[in-house]
Amino acid sequence: MNLTRETLYDKIYACWAGKNIGGTLGAPVEGKMEALNLTFFPEIPDGQALPNDDLDLQLVNLHAAEQYGVGLGTEQIGREWLEHVRFQYDEYGYAQTALRAGFIPPFAGKWDNPFVNCMGSPIRSEIWACAAPGRPDIAAYFAWQDAAVDHAGGEGVFGEIFNAAIEALAFTWEGTLVDLVKKALTFIPASCRTAKAVAETLDCYAAGLPLSEARERILAHHGCPNFTDAPQNIAFTVAGILWGKDFEDVLLKTVNLGYDTDCTVATAGSLWGILYGTASIPEKWSAPVGDGIVLSAAVRGFTPPPTLDDLTKRTMRLGDKLALEDPYRFVMPETEQTDFSVQRWTLPAEADRRYAFCIELRYANDRPSVAPGAPVELRFTFINNAADRWAVVPTLELPCGLSYAACGDEIVLMPGERTEWTATVSSNGRIAPVSACRLKLARINDFALWNEFTVNFPILRASTWVVDGKLTPVDGTLVSFPAKREDNTYTAAAILNVPTTRTTTLICASRSSVTVTLDGEKVIESGPHSHDMPAYHRAHKDQRVTLELAAGRHAVTVVVRDAEQVPEFRFAAVKGGKPTEPGSCYRFVDDVIE
């Protein structure tokens, strides 16, 4: 890059300053889905920015990258989340439930997660762009690793890759903003919803439409009732950048489009800061926010940078580390761009997978749960990327109540070879909600045991519902009915077995009308909704109830009515009551639905 250290510092600092300013402007009106008319901060800051997960989670990623360096990937970021993040909002809560059960990303970010299309990861792009300025390929690589933790298989991944690419490109961009957007689009599939929404935004701009008309077209063709859905919001950020004339105009045009405003405006402010530096940010906007960083209480356990200056310097040091590395390390193979159903390990652990013996695990049909009569099929792939021959004998170590059938013969792989090994695991029904399992690989050398390796993975006990009179194993929270009924009334029943007496919030999220009874007493009565909202902290008020739930077995019946199509619902038991610490609305993983 033809950037001096002083210019690079200025652009990175302006990126973080724009992030802080934009998040503080947009946070108070987040979720308002009508067009707005703001002219300044709706809540005047008193010398500091509002705390915001848009920046908080990037500080976690910075901490992780400083520890793991170029080896940072989905598994390592997932570990850091469990240690440092207590947010349970939407996709964060579902991904952390999977992480707590023992899954690793990207599968942990995909399994049973209804929010993979949302904005929780596109807001985390700046750390990768600023650590790889002018290198959109490297920024996109780390954006993929990060987004897969909680958005695997969804538009959130494409949104973060797009944002990271456009921001990394902006450091050295000399063309038009339209061409900058078009170049960033080449990093995501043209078929994804995010790319289509951005492309429509470009069409509106090229046609000379007023921003208000462009907004209506974006929502008509790419809108979603969930205000956090990524495609519409990323299109709004692009629109703010294209239609805006300067920093203030960009921020106000973006925030007044509405929807997920703290995210859209924060990203717009960051991108503008990278493009034009600190000189483009008026003191009118920077002075009320200041240089300090305010961390949310739900993010803890590490030392964050106290100021934007410190954050900028630490980001630059991280970039210096990455600049010394072989750039081919950061190339995403095509299979890794699309295969979100896999958990990966290297032998030895933390080795560079390009040169190590690798293990991949896929659950057949993405279903990691087991029930009597409904076994789970484990599909292991062994890949020898090492420089010498590997001979291994695989076996499984399973807890009581689980058994498996598989071939136990020795497997020999020469360098560059791979093979599949499948095991079918059955249950007698007497298993824990989460069973910790192990794959053991005995490496053989000259007909003798040379070394042993183990990797850990979970198998879940399937929930068991009686759905329209038929006993049905259910994987995760989603219960689906088999076919349309003439009377348009559907019934599902189960027993909720709670290990300890505790305050619990029961959520039964559906677009249809639902009635939930617990031990014969009606606890939820809800009419239809335009969209389901199974979030732990913001499920529709009439589709959740908080009560003191005694230890033991409780009969649950769900009746669904007035469905336009074959209905479904999500049922979850979440920690309820007054929080004892930030982020305590997590889902229980020790109860059983039987």
Q: Encode pLDDT of 296-324 as tens digits.
A: 999 999 999 999 999 999 999 999 999 88
Q: How confident is the model at residue 584 (pLDDT cuts 50, 70, 90)?
A: confident
Give the CATH fold of the 463-593 domain: Jelly Rolls (2.60.120)
Q: Omega into 534 within 30° of 0, i.e. cis? A: no
Percentage of residues in the chain having pLDDT higher than 90: 89
The pLDDT value recorded for residue 200 is 98
Is pLDDT of 282 > 80?
yes
Q: Domain 5-330 is classified in which CATH homologous superfamily?
A: ADP-ribosylation/Crystallin J1 (1.10.4080.10)
The pLDDT value recorded for residue 519 is 97
Mean pLDDT of 546-553: 96
What are the DSSP calls for 72-141, one per residue? --HHHHHHHHHHHB---SHHHHHHHHHHHHT--TTHHHHTT-TTTTBTTTGGG-HHHHHHSTT-HHHHHH
247-255 and 230-243 helices, crossing angle to 10°: 150
Token code pair at residue 342: 């896999």
Is pLDDT of 337 > 60?
no
Residues 6+ apart with CB under 8 A from 20: 49, 55, 266, 269, 289, 293, 308
For the stretch 114-157, pLDDT in tens is 999 999 999 999 999 999 999 999 999 999 999 999 999 999 99
The pLDDT value recorded for residue 563 is 83
- Alpha-carbon span 538 to 541, nearest angstrom: 8
Domains 5-330 and 342-460 share a fold: no
The pLDDT value recorded for residue 523 is 98
For residue 569, which of 490, 511, 506 has the smallest C-alpha distance? 511
Q: Where are the domains of the chain?
A: 5-330, 342-460, 463-593
Inter-residue contact 494 to 594 (CB < 8 Å): yes
Higher pLDDT, 182 or 582: 182
- Burial label for 448, CB within 10 Å (0-12, 13-18, 19+), is exposed
For the stretch 403-454, pLDDT in tens is 999 877 899 999 999 999 999 999 988 899 999 999 999 999 988 899 999 9
The pLDDT value recorded for residue 415 is 97
Residues paired with residue 343 on neighbouring β-strands, in sequence order: 361
Higher pLDDT, 571 or 581: 571
Is pLDDT of 47 > 60?
yes
The pLDDT value recorded for residue 333 is 63
For the stretch 553-566, pLDDT in tens is 999 999 999 888 89
For the stretch 486-527, pLDDT in tens is 899 999 999 999 999 999 999 999 999 999 999 999 999 999
Q: Which amino acid is at 85?
A: V
Is pLDDT of 336 > 70?
no
Token code pair at residue 483: 């076919």
Percentage of residues in the chain having pLDDT higher than 70: 99
The pLDDT value recorded for residue 477 is 97
- Burial label for 400, CB within 10 Å (0-12, 13-18, 19+), is exposed
Average pLDDT, the chain: 95
Q: Which amino acid is at 84?
A: H
Give the CA angle between residues 353, 354, 359 to the nearest 5°.
40
- HEC string for 449-481: EEEEEEEEEEEEECEEEEECCEEEEECCCEEEC
**Domain 342-460, CATH among 3.40.50.620, 3.30.2010.10, 2.40.160.10, 2.60.40.10:** 2.60.40.10
Token code pair at residue 87: 């947010």
**How many residues can be counted in the chain?**
594
Token code pair at residue 522: 């009606």
The pLDDT value recorded for residue 581 is 78
Token code pair at residue 251: 């921020």
Q: What is the DSSP letter of 289?
A: T
